Amino acid sequence: MSLVLRRTVLTFVAAASVAGAGFVHAQASAPQAPAVSTAASGGTVAELQQLLAQKRLTELRTTYNGDYGTSLLLVNEDTTAYVALSYRKELWRVYKFASVAPAEGAYDTLASQTRTWAEDDLRRAVTAGQKAQLEREAQAAQQRAASLSQEVRIMQVQRQKMLTEQQTMRQETKALDIERRAYQTQVESLQQQIRLLEKQLNDPHWSPAP
């Protein structure tokens, strides 16, 4: 019998043997198994525990469906077989058979039944996975949206700054043009005055007034 299974089954048996009320609670809270054989009593649990401690059992099969586990165990020195049903790693029910054939039938029936019971677990696991994936996608989208919003805000600030600078430049250009025209008028007036003075100086007949 594999060490992993032995530890798992020992955990099941220990949980059931320490507190019988816990075993009863597990029977009441989980779905009802098909009536393939008479359900084991606490004595059968103790019997199975003793056989495991004595290493007198061989694991033939074990099936897990969601939180449910089904194990088929055979006594080494005779044909007695046990089918153990667990729920969330706790022993739920034990069935004892005089031979392997009916035990295999019960094992197949219970393993198939636990597959049906585990459908809700499967749907929950799939839904939880989808939720986690969508949550990651939502977080990524939120971060992307925040990054883009920041870029838009920066762009708007830069655009406003550019518009303000352009307006300032237009105002400065207008003021410079006004000053340019004033200087141009002044230069033209001075040039006209210079030409008149030069004409007077170059005219031999011109003389200043007494």
Whole-angstrom CA distances from 29 to 23, 83, 96 are 10, 20, 22
Give alpha helix (H) positions in the chain: 3-18, 20-29, 42-53, 100-117, 119-202
The arithmetic mean of pLDDT across residues 119-140, rounded, is: 90
CA–CA distance, 88 with 114 (Å, rounded to integer):
12
Contacts of 48 (CB under 8 A, 6+ apart): 9, 13, 40, 57, 73, 82, 84, 94
Distance (Å, rounded) from C-alpha 116 to C-alpha 65? 9
Average pLDDT over residues 24-49: 51
Q: What is the mean pLDDT of the chain?
A: 79
Question: What pLDDT, on a 0 to 100 scale, did the predictor assign at position 203?
Answer: 75
Position with higher pLDDT, 136 vs 46 = 136
End-to-end alpha carbon distance in the chain: 144
Give the pLDDT mean for 137-149: 92
The string of pLDDT tens digits covering residues 147-202 is 989 999 999 999 999 999 899 999 989 998 898 999 899 998 998 988 888 887 88
pLDDT of residue 208: 62
Lowest mean pLDDT among 104-108, 120-124, 153-157: 120-124
Question: What percent of the chain clears pLDDT 70, i.e. is strictly above it?
Answer: 78
Residues β-bridged to residue 72: 61, 83
**Domain parsing of the chain, residue ranges:** 3-114
Using CA atoms, how far apart are residues 18 and 67, in angstroms rounded to an integer?
Answer: 21
**Closest by Cα among 15, 141, 146 to 69:** 15
